[in-house]
Structure 1
């Protein structure tokens, strides 16, 4: 049954629900070949060209579809199942990348483990992995024979984002006088987020076990530590609002000099970013490239104290330590998850990781496409 109203159509759905669709929305959503390219799923016209007071001339309902004739004679047909799906989309919003769930313990990572071959061949596993990535900020993809980093990157996002280091960078040991980053050393790395000297740092990062000796890593160091900065920032906001306020309002300077490329990168930003409502939108912090040179005298001590308090909250209760195996890939939110490295000995351990970055837009686009394919 359908009922015509001045601005909308009411239709009974197979589920028993009564759905309402505005006339202008129905005309905008016409499925015919004249109105849209069905293959590309793109419209040939601008919604602004439809009169907002449009109504149907006639409506005919069958068991399978609703047929409408418009005042200009154009005919539109909407399958009942299609209308029901549109109603479901409006009433049940699918998970989106910003629906973040803070860690309550490192055990959360155990639920975010997937085999690399499962990611490649199982659409449901891929969608679940991406949903967990957006929710908890991290997924661990265990290496399996025959699955390399390029294949995984293609499956997850299609392509990676370029940075100063190119599409990829391989974290292998280099002499101090032959490197442009202390990441290419055996020294420990403090907990950090990557590329803070970009105005918009990369959204997501991956690390891949390109050439690692798993037994040696477990015995002699070189584990990578990951911690949920969002959970730490929320705790700081609850326990010490003044310190939280300092880190959301006092800019610091991030600076990286790369003489070989003839570039000096610089960005000034707060360590904790918030939106106008106070919601935490991102964390930017890399101690190796951070300077307080432009901080006013009266703000210096409060900043050091607040920063120390915040980093102290990145404890074991929100940390996961990963011992690398060949082919492992860990993908994590670079605006949220801090990572660091234990010191290791280059003479006793093989440890080369490949790293790179993904755009949230590309990861989310892949998730939506595959989710629709299996729905």
Structure 2
């Protein structure tokens, strides 16, 4: 059953629909009206100037029929909302699956299949979105082996290191990733604006002793911190350190909290980069709270409760959500052989767009949605 109840001044509408309840402002409903007079039918972009709608706009009539909400506004406009779609817009996306070491997934995809088949590519992207990473097998083991699959999704993000760059031990390393040193769990490049969205790490050879990769779900770490130490959690969402990278040709700096919240107050992004973090000289009591909170978060992301260990084989590629996962590696010794990875970045907008478009296309029966 569905019930609609306008407020006394008719500038709000309460809707109860199959156990869901929402309260919607008249102006919000008017500017989001899903009709051709308000939204362009092809692009979905708004045709009316929302800032010119009367602030005292009211809902003059509201009726429900066949799971649709029929509205008439005080400016004379009429529209019809699909009730399921109206509530979908208010629902937090449930499709992300947070994990720890005990229930860590192993999402897998095949390079050739994802390259040739839209359903396989969609499966890969949905796995990446749900779990924060996916392991792709069968990647050609030459230096630009990942490039054809990158091209299926969006442009490669170029940085001061170029496009697809080496990750291996070199003399006179300009970054600690280019040494044999183990790396603590971290997110990449928090000193950039925007931060690269997805890391593509392609294994060419991995015969060195050590060099195993580690992954930890930063959103799960944030959830556990909120449950176990609410004050520490609040501190890491409030205090904003900066992050900086400099070399002879580059000077990059940005800022943001270690745990970033979305508009609903839920964790949406984590940052952690011990090598590049610069906390400002805050009042001592605030710094003390921050240092304790950071340590609590660090203990979570480095502990075995959340850490997944894996070692990539030649021809495998790890794609990681750089806003969600923290990754690291153990130290390695070249006495056993060479460890040579290639790494590139793809931004979030192109990745999300490709995933959504494929989801819609694959859900639409062939022939529907076509125009003459």
Q: Same fold (TM over 0.5)?
A: yes
1:106 deviates by 5.5
Q: C-alpha distance in 1, partners of 2:93/2:157?
A: 18
Distance 1:363 1:341, change over 3 A: same
Q: Does structure 2 retain, via aligned residues, the 8 Å contact 1:109–1:138?
A: no
**Deviation (angstroms), 1:310:** 0.7
| Counterpart check, 1:271 vs 2:258 | yes
The 3-state SS of whatever aligns with 2:225 is helix
Q: Which runs of 4+ in 1 moved over 6 A?
A: 28-31, 86-89, 94-98
Does 2:142 match 1:153? Answer: no
Aligned to 1:173: 169
Deviates more, 1:86-95 or 1:337-346: 86-95
Q: Out of 136, 144, 163, which is 1:141 matched to?
A: 136
1:182 aligns with 2:154: no
Change (3 A) 1:93 1:358: farther
Partner of 1:362: 350
Q: Number of matched residues?
A: 299
Among residues 212, 220, 228, which one is paired with 2:205 in the alignment? 212
Structure 1 CA distance for aligned equivalents of residues 231 and 95 of structure 2: 26
1:216-365 superposed matches below 5 A: 216-217=207-208, 220-259=209-248, 261=249, 263-314=250-301, 315-365=303-353
The verdict on how the C-alpha distance between 1:354 and 1:298 changes in structure 2, with shifts beyond 3 A counting, is same
For the Cα contact (< 8 Å) 1:109–1:320, is it kept in 2?
A: no
CA change 1:23–1:329 in 2 (3 A) is: closer
- Contact 1:97–1:135 (CA under 8 A) maintained in structure 2: no
> 1:46–1:364: structure 2 CA closer, same or farther, 3 Å change rule?
closer
Query: For residues 164 and 93 of structure 1, do their structure 2 counterparts lie closer, same or farther at Cα, with a shift above 3 Å needed?
Result: farther
Distance in structure 1 (CA, Å) of the matches to 2:46 and 2:88 = 25
Q: Distance in 2 between matches of 1:24 and 1:255?
A: 45
Correspondence for 2:120 among 113, 116, 125 = 125
Q: Distance in 2 between matches of 1:249 and 1:230?
A: 16
Q: Is the 8 A contact 2:225 2:233 kept in 1?
A: yes
CA distance in 2 between partners of 1:102 and 1:149 (Å): 27
Q: Is the CA contact 1:97–1:364 (under 8 Å) kept in the aligned structure 2? A: no
The change in CA–CA distance for 1:23 and 1:179 in structure 2 (over 3 A counts) is closer
The match for 1:113 is: 108
Question: Offset at 1:238?
Answer: 0.8
Change (3 A) 1:299 1:47: closer
Decide whether the 8 Å contact of 2:141 with 2:314 is kept in 1: no
Unaligned runs of 5+ in 1: 1-21, 32-40, 53-85
Counterpart for residue 26 of structure 2: none
Query: 1:98, 1:135 within 8 Å by CA — same for their partners in 2?
Result: no
- Higher normalized helix content (fraction of residues): 1
Name the SS of the counterpart of 1:316 in structure 2.
Answer: coil
Shift of 1:329: 1.2
Q: Using the alignment, how far apart are the partners of 2:165 and 2:350 within structure 1? A: 20
Q: CA deviation at 1:271?
A: 1.1
Taking the aligned partners of 2:262 and 2:201, their CA distance within structure 1 comes to 29
Distance in 2 between residues matched to 1:23 and 1:153, nearest whole Å: 37
Match of 2:370 in 1: none
SS at match of 1:254: strand
- Considering only CA atoms, is the larger Rg found in Structure 1 or Structure 2? 1
2:192 equivalent to 1:192? no
SS at 2:194's partner residue? Answer: coil
Q: Which residue of 2 aligns with 1:47?
A: 47
- Name the CA distance, whole Å, in 1 between partners of 2:166 and 2:200: 12
**TM-score normalised per structure 1:** 0.71
SS of the equivalent of 1:119 reads helix
* Structure 2: segments with no counterpart, 5+ residues: 1-31, 54-80, 364-372
* Aligned-partner Cα distance in 1 for 2:328–2:130: 21
Which residue of 2 is the match for residue 164 of structure 1? Answer: 160
